[in-house]
Structure 1
Amino acid sequence: MALILKKKKVKLIANPFADIPDPFGYGQRAVDFLRSLKHPKSRHPDRDFQLDPWQERIVRQIYGPCDEHGGRIIRNVVIMLPRGNRKTSLGAALSLLHTMGPEAVPGGEVLTAAADRKQAKLAFTEAQSIIQAGSEELWRKGQASRRFEEGRTIKLQEYKNRMTFPNGSFLESLSNDAGTQHGRTPVFALIDEIHAWKKRDLWDVIRTGLVKVPNSLSIVITTAGRGQENIAFEVIDYARKVAAGKVHDPATLPILFETSPDADWQDEEVWKACNPGLIHGYPDLNGLRQLAREAAERPADREAFRQLHLNIWLGHSSDPFVDMPIYDKGAGAFDLEELEHEPCWLAVDLSSNSDLTVIVAAWRDGQDGYIVHPWFFCPRDNLDKRADRDGVPYPQWAGEGFIEPTFGNVVDFRVVEDTIRELCERFEVREIAFDPHLGRVMMSNLADDGYPAIEMRQGWVTMAPAIKELERAIIAGRFRHGGHPVLRWNFDNIAVETDKAGNKAFHKGKSRDRIDGAVAAAMAVGRASLGEDNRSIYDTEDRPEGLLVF
């Protein structure tokens, strides 16, 4: 019996799961199997597998609802849980449900997949320990034994990370860093900690393989991640839309234990709401309290606490320039054609071999606002490898027109220069700002033809006022960018250095991060804020405050 307090009256409910359809009893069957398992770390009598009510509800929601023919309605499950809520144990038990339990298909392929080999083997090893805890007689390590051939044991092949069961089904662990896995036809796939996946290759292989088999099932179990330019955010964002009713998809079950970014991260009631295992003793409450005490004094630890224990999806940078939800307020669409006769300021950030090259145009928007639009360029050679290196979908962006690949393994500056000339013909360009480090030749070419090219070095003196103005506009909601995904990624990568005078400078949070578009945006906004002048920033008498001339 369960007790529910409602309108100050206690109502008795005989079956707390009565709201979950189970016309064929498959949900109950799955629960019964999981309860029959043993776990070596279980504190229950006889080491019975611990299946708490919140976990039982998830299992019943997956396996109970069926169509009139007994086919499972749920095909895709997305579970987002903070660290320490026993994701691995639940996932391992469900993999056994599909290999040696009532959901098993003779000869069926069951996979556990993760970002790397070590993570991928966690659920596999957990399943192995559950089997061993249940019955040593079922377990035979190494090659097929006589008992396996008689259909009574399980064979472990460690070098393949594979267990084969008497019914011919097998459980195998795969990692996203192990190369191609084409040809897979899984009946069940446990996709673990997808927030750590740097590329989507294995995801695509598994998802396309699942559709080959009727009644197949994929379960994503992960904690929150960082950034939006990855497969994890795509999966979680889709699940959010299904949960909110924005997308109708009865085959997808979203189970998202996440916290609002503006919630009080030190409030233990918030912890309990996001961590369903806390009331059952996991994760350790005193351990969380200790982490929170330390995080109150160390900003980097605080961000890790919010991400891993409260499931708050963070930006790429641990020391962000601005909060990305504030930046995203400027994502509304605008029409470039309407800006063709408005004063325009261009800024160009030319790249080394590995970075992006970008042109950013800025227009004044009223007295204190700005509209910006970027044109990005990258080398065409090895575009897929660059995507894997940076963890972002360069090929997709190129296909959608957000970035222009140029021939070769470095950006073709001739294409960039031609684009600048085209923009000057289209818009009322007042200045074209360059960092002279890589831009002297292009500046000279443009200046010789009468284009208003100027120098704007990317040092503290020139960039600090520009960054200050850019920050003011974003925070005030006066910075419109149209939601350009590459530009957003660049802003999300920014880490900030601040000097003793409070001046800010951009730098990369990690070596692979790209911030070129954000730097060029700051340059363009900085020049637009000064108005009509097209002279060098070193010559102008209307200098930004604090500018030193040597």
Structure 2
Amino acid sequence: MFADFGEACCRVTKDSVAASAGTLLSFRPWQRMLLQHVLARRPDGRLRHRQALVGVARKNGKSALGAVVGLGGLVLGPQGGEVYSCAADKEQARIVFGTARRMVELDPELSELLKLYRDAIEFPKTGSVYRVLSAEAFTKEGLNPHQVVFDEVHAQPNRELWDVMALAMGARPEPLMIGITTAGVRSDSTGNDSLCYGMYQYGKRVAQGEIDDPSFFMAWWEPKDSAADFRDPSTWREANPGFDDLVSAEDFASMVLRTPEAEYRTKRCNQWVATGEAWLPTGAWEDCEEPQAIPDGAEVVLGFDGSYNNDSTALVVVQPGERPHLDVVECWEKPATADDTWKVSIFDVEKKIREACRRWRVREIACDPARWARTMEALELEGLPVVEYPQSPERMVPATQRFYEAVLNKTLSHSGDSRLARHVGNCVLRVNQRGAQLSKETKTSPRKIDLAVAAVMALDRASQRPEEDPIPFAIWGR
């Protein structure tokens, strides 16, 4: 519906490689498919999604697409509708809104239907309005939007405006908030995950089936191989659905010669580029993937990194050998819908450890005794091979180095578990007087790394010769 509206009434606002200014839009198949997914409907006829994140590299027609969505929400929306263009600052927000305003000026039919103001477009027939807003969220209380178009979500200084607008839409029967963006920074002004990166990770978990949330939709164009050569035209094509159509192939070839790799990957390949503190080189973890399960009855080492509440608890398994193999036994993470009283179930953790010990011949259970000392003591009394592994620099620095070298040299393999990949990708290195060890990007970051930490511990123990039981002896008296 929005695609048909766009092609019937909305016009190109600037001369480009795709078309001349003033000509009617002609949506490409990928754009039509995108709109169909974003605006998909449930069996009862209402919109399926309440929030959507669309990630695509620069110059792929994001502003025009956002403008069509905004105008479509105004003209095709409900009586008394409210549509808003939002961004980190008003000038950024004006880009999509300004494109929509110019589309109205260029089209006789829209010009007759709609009234233009500096910061608003009104549809008198339905009493609906389309306005432009910036990130000063405290001034937005009292709004009642049915549709919001967020431009460049990655630039939001925090998630306040997004949350304010989401709350404001609560009374609408078919609300839709769509963010259109490129990749950007991982952390916001508070030191936590940026709004966009948090949504990106959430979207990946929804897509991979880790979270069941049909109200959230994400489409993200990026290279399939995160380590793909950023200078290769095939990489550009994967990340740019409008490559050599909406965006010039010659421009890519020219700019790659004088643009830093990190910036090029972010803006032109739509990748979240690791910072200088990143742990593993791009693509190194993926290169070690060998999807296979550890057979029942095999000798293994378990690694356990436990939390108490509002974090994650991880249990991984390593099969020792010439090329050790890693897999995830279980990971307990706070559900997105849980409040701050959520806690890891001690019963579930103990049950899963016992099950692992029945499934495999467990040589050791490497565990940091902090917080879980009582559980580990109880399991040890049952005869399970618990080994204390305090996460001190003395242990973690050499263990981290061992793990790093194994990944780079491909002398370990892993099953490809998406949760483990996410935790590994969330790690950075913190350097102290003894060397570097794993850490979160910031102390308050909500990104989990516990599976990675447990994997480092387990590999360290699996790579060492098992401790032999002491030979009993006696001293005889006279």
TM-score interval, smaller chain: 0.5 to 0.7
Matched, 1:94 2:97: no
1:53–1:472 Cα change, 3 Å: same
Q: What do residues 244-282 of structure 1 show as CA deviations (whole Å, max 9, x unaligned)?
A: xxxxxxxxxx996879755666899x9999798997999
Partner of residue 483, structure 1 = 416
Partner of residue 460, structure 2 = 526
The sequence identity of aligned pairs, in percent, is 20
Q: Secondary structure at the residue paired with 2:405?
A: helix
1:194–1:236 Cα change, 3 Å: farther
- How many Å separate the matches in 2 of 1:59 and 1:94? 10
- How many Å separate the matches in 2 of 1:351 and 1:238? 24
Q: Once the 2 structures are TM-superposed, how far is the Cα of residue 509 of structure 1 from its aligned partner?
A: 1.0
1:255–1:74 Cα change, 3 Å: same
The one-letter amino acid of 1:442's match is T
- How many Å separate the matches in 1 of 2:433 and 2:102? 57
Matched, 1:367 2:322: yes
Matched, 1:492 2:425: yes
Is the CA contact 1:225–1:233 (under 8 Å) kept in the aligned structure 2?
no
The one-letter amino acid of 1:59's match is L
Partner of residue 115, structure 2 = 153
Partner of residue 303, structure 2 = 347
Q: What do residues 428-471 of structure 1 show as CA deviations (whole Å, max 9, x unaligned)?
A: 11112222333332333233333222221212221223222322
- How many Å separate the matches in 1 of 2:72 and 2:55? 22
Is the CA contact 2:366–2:389 (under 8 Å) kept in the aligned structure 1?
yes
Q: Once the 2 structures are TM-superposed, how far is the Cα of residue 322 of structure 1 from its aligned partner?
A: 1.6
Partner of residue 52, structure 1 = 16
Is the CA contact 1:92–1:123 (under 8 Å) kept in the aligned structure 2?
no
Q: What do residues 5-50 of structure 1 show as CA deviations (whole Å, max 9, x unaligned)?
A: xxxxxxxxxxxxxxxxxxxx988755xx525xxxxxxxxxxxxx41
1:279–1:166 Cα change, 3 Å: same
The one-letter amino acid of 1:314's match is W
The one-letter amino acid of 2:457's match is M
Q: Once the 2 structures are TM-superposed, how far is the Cα of residue 331 of structure 1 from its aligned partner?
A: 4.2
The one-letter amino acid of 1:519's match is V
Q: Once the 2 structures are TM-superposed, how far is the Cα of residue 317 of structure 1 from its aligned partner?
A: 5.9
Matched, 1:376 2:331: yes
Is the CA contact 2:226–2:282 (under 8 Å) kept in the aligned structure 1?
no
Partner of residue 450, structure 1 = 383
- How many Å separate the matches in 2 of 1:524 and 1:255? 34
Indicate which of 104, 121, 126 corresponds to 2:98: 126
The one-letter amino acid of 2:437's match is A
Is the CA contact 2:325–2:412 (under 8 Å) kept in the aligned structure 1?
yes
- How many Å separate the matches in 2 of 1:307 and 1:58? 32
Q: Once the 2 structures are TM-superposed, how far is the Cα of residue 196 of structure 1 from its aligned partner?
A: 7.0
Is the CA contact 1:469–1:526 (under 8 Å) kept in the aligned structure 2?
yes
Is the CA contact 1:356–1:377 (under 8 Å) kept in the aligned structure 2?
yes
- How many Å separate the matches in 2 of 1:413 and 1:255? 37
Q: Once the 2 structures are TM-superposed, how far is the Cα of residue 529 of structure 1 from its aligned partner?
A: 0.5
Q: Once the 2 structures are TM-superposed, how far is the Cα of residue 357 of structure 1 from its aligned partner?
A: 1.4
Q: Secondary structure at the residue paired with 1:325?
A: coil
Is the CA contact 1:434–1:456 (under 8 Å) kept in the aligned structure 2?
yes
Q: Once the 2 structures are TM-superposed, how far is the Cα of residue 493 of structure 1 from its aligned partner?
A: 0.7
Matched, 1:440 2:396: no
- How many Å separate the matches in 2 of 1:427 and 1:482? 17
Unpaired segments of 5 or more residues in structure 1?
A: 1-24, 36-48, 67-71, 140-149, 240-253, 296-301, 387-407, 537-550
Pairs within 5 Å for 1:77-476: 81-83=56-58, 85=59, 89-91=63-65, 93-95=67-69, 98=72, 111=83, 121-123=93-95, 125-127=97-99, 130=102, 153-154=115-116, 163-168=121-126, 170-171=129-130, 190=149, 192-193=151-152, 221-224=180-183, 232=200, 292=259, 303=262, 305-314=263-272, 319-323=277-281, 325-336=283-294, 338-339=295-296, 341-364=297-320, 366-378=321-333, 383-384=337-338, 409-476=342-409
- How many Å separate the matches in 1 of 2:369 and 2:31? 64
Q: Once the 2 structures are TM-superposed, how far is the Cα of residue 355 of structure 1 from its aligned partner?
A: 1.8
Q: Once the 2 structures are TM-superposed, how far is the Cα of residue 190 of structure 1 from its aligned partner?
A: 4.8
Q: What do residues 49-88 of structure 1 show as CA deviations (whole Å, max 9, x unaligned)?
A: 413133669931349999xxxxx996358975545x4966
Partner of residue 192, structure 2 = none
Which structure: larger Rg? Answer: 1
Q: Once the 2 structures are TM-superposed, how far is the Cα of residue 384 of structure 1 from its aligned partner?
A: 4.1
The one-letter amino acid of 1:527's match is R
Is the CA contact 1:28–1:64 (under 8 Å) kept in the aligned structure 2?
no
Q: Once the 2 structures are TM-superposed, how far is the Cα of residue 354 of structure 1 from its aligned partner?
A: 2.6
- How many Å separate the matches in 2 of 1:129 and 1:459? 60
Q: Secondary structure at the residue paired with 1:504?
A: strand
In the superposition, the TM-score normalised over structure 1's length comes to 0.56
The one-letter amino acid of 1:377's match is W
**Total equivalences in the alignment:** 415
In the superposition, the TM-score normalised over structure 2's length comes to 0.63
Q: Once the 2 structures are TM-superposed, how far is the Cα of residue 526 of structure 1 from its aligned partner?
A: 0.4
1:321–1:351 Cα change, 3 Å: same
- How many Å separate the matches in 2 of 1:192 and 1:76? 19
- How many Å separate the matches in 2 of 1:106 and 1:451? 64
Partner of residue 436, structure 2 = 504
Q: Once the 2 structures are TM-superposed, how far is the Cα of residue 375 of structure 1 from its aligned partner?
A: 1.6
- How many Å separate the matches in 2 of 1:447 and 1:528? 19
Unpaired segments of 5 or more residues in structure 2?
A: 39-52, 187-195, 208-218, 471-478
Q: Once the 2 structures are TM-superposed, how far is the Cα of residue 344 of structure 1 from its aligned partner?
A: 1.5
